[in-house]
Amino acid sequence: MKIGFIGSGNVGQTLGHVLVEQGHDVKLGARQPAKLTNWKKSLENSGLASVGTYQEAAEHGELVINATPGVASLEVLQLIGQKSLAGKILIDVALPLEFTNGELRLSIAPNDSLGEQIQQAFPETKVVKTLNTVTSALMINPLNLAEGQHDTFIGGNDTEAKNKVSEYLRQWFGWKNIIDLGDISSARATEGLLLLTSRIYGALGHSNFNLKVIR
């Protein structure tokens, strides 16, 4: 599948790498694509890894993944514009966090969310919020923790899009438990979870953890 990443930081590079290895045709979109030489080189034998502008990555993808820092996401997506994203599924893994005086804060919460703002700004795009509650290492390798017996969440307004993305998460990364929280406003819940996971990180001293809903 042709997949375009908006954003080329840790999350974009990590997910992009795995997806190339699985045979997908991946373009990482960046503000300065020239800085991604190392990423591209490490995958050059595949012939499936390319880099480009945000716009080029969006146009490349049948499926597009927003992996920009959440505080910049809307601005970047609006530069790309409606047309390149219309009719497509946009998987949004971004978190609208910022540090103020050394303190972690959510820039959009609790009664709104980045997922909703993107969906509202791009009504012809099917925004699916998922994976945004775990580290990139866990995103691509949930089986590395407790044999995958923990949960990720998914939210979005389009049920078919959520079903497709859930299937991708199973096939690509091996996610076993994907809990559908409803429409895109559930992004308030999953983005807000950062307040808890950052505290748990502080309590445990490492980030190799995830939540499981015991029922």
- Interface positions with its own copies (CB under 8 A): 105-106, 109-111, 145-146, 149-150, 153, 155, 179-182, 186, 188-190, 192-193, 195-196, 198-200, 202-204, 206, 208-215
> Residues 94, 114: contact at Cβ < 8 Å?
yes
- CB nearer to its own copies: give 153 or 173: 153
Cβ 85 to its own copies, closest distance in Å?
A: 26
Neighbours of 141 (CB within 10 A): 16
**With 0-12 CB in 10 A as exposed, 13-18 as middle and 19+ as buried, what is 129?**
buried
Cβ 55 to its own copies, closest distance in Å?
A: 33
- CB nearer to its own copies: give 8 or 73: 73
Cβ 110 to its own copies, closest distance in Å?
A: 4
Q: CB neighbours of 214 closer than 8 A, spacing ≥ 6? A: none
- CB nearer to its own copies: give 9 or 174: 174
Cβ 193 to its own copies, closest distance in Å?
A: 6
- CB nearer to its own copies: give 33 or 96: 96
Neighbours of 37 (CB within 10 A): 10
Q: CB neighbours of 102 closer than 8 A, spacing ≥ 6? A: none
